[in-house]
Amino acid sequence: MDTLNLDITKRYSYADYLTWMDDVRRELFDGFIKLMTPAPSSKHQEISFNLSGIFRSFILKKKCKGFAAPSDVRFPKNRKSLNDKQVYTVLQPDLYIVCDLSKIDARGCLGAPDLIIEIISPKNSQRDTRDKFNIYQEHGVREYWIVSPNDETVNVFVLDDKSKFQFVGIYAGDDKIPVNIFNGDLKVDLTEVFTS
């Protein structure tokens, strides 16, 4: 499985995760290891790069920061469980934006980012559309985008006042996606995201 021969049936904390000194990328889903897929496709990376550029230009004027994978986002069960031994969910979204800068530290983000973007591949689509969807919703991520490189579409979900994701829409072609966390002041032109 990997160079450390970790027991995938055992529950681990973020404190354990920090001791794994090898080149294998993993995430923790409520303490259980999920291996990351091999290096993403060039199309995946191009989309990520394009989105990063669009968001970077905009957030330079805001009190927000953006990050790209690999970067750890730790999801504690509550604000009292900030000890590494009490954090059991650690994910590496493709891209994320954080506007509460108190959540940023030297190891990434502690708590829910404002916006998360996952770029799916055939091998990880269920993880992003179901497993991570549920985690992001549970922990209060305000906006979640699921990007499909093959279909060149983006599904957008926004957290409502009952802490449930509501489907905003599916965007494609020459659509411009209003970014909800910025009250639509930023509109992402998909012709700049899915370049040929």
Q: Find out whether 156 and 148 touch, Cβ atoms under 8 Å.
A: no
Torsion of CA 52, 54, 55, 58, to 10 degrees: 150
- For each of the chain's 196 residues, which pLDDT tens digit applies? 445 788 888 999 999 999 888 878 888 898 988 887 777 789 999 999 999 999 999 998 889 999 999 999 999 987 666 788 889 999 999 999 999 999 999 999 999 999 999 999 877 777 778 899 999 999 999 999 999 999 999 999 999 999 999 999 999 999 999 999 999 999 999 999 998 6
Q: Is 161 helix (H, G, I), strand (E, B) or coil?
A: coil
Pull the structure tokens for residue 89. Answer: 């969910």
Q: Which CATH number fits domain 40-72+90-193: 3.90.1570.10, 3.40.50.720, 3.40.630.30, 3.40.710.10?
A: 3.90.1570.10
Q: Find out whether 145 and 115 touch, Cβ atoms under 8 Å.
A: yes
Pairing of strands 143-148, 115-119: parallel
What residue has token string 């900030």? 82
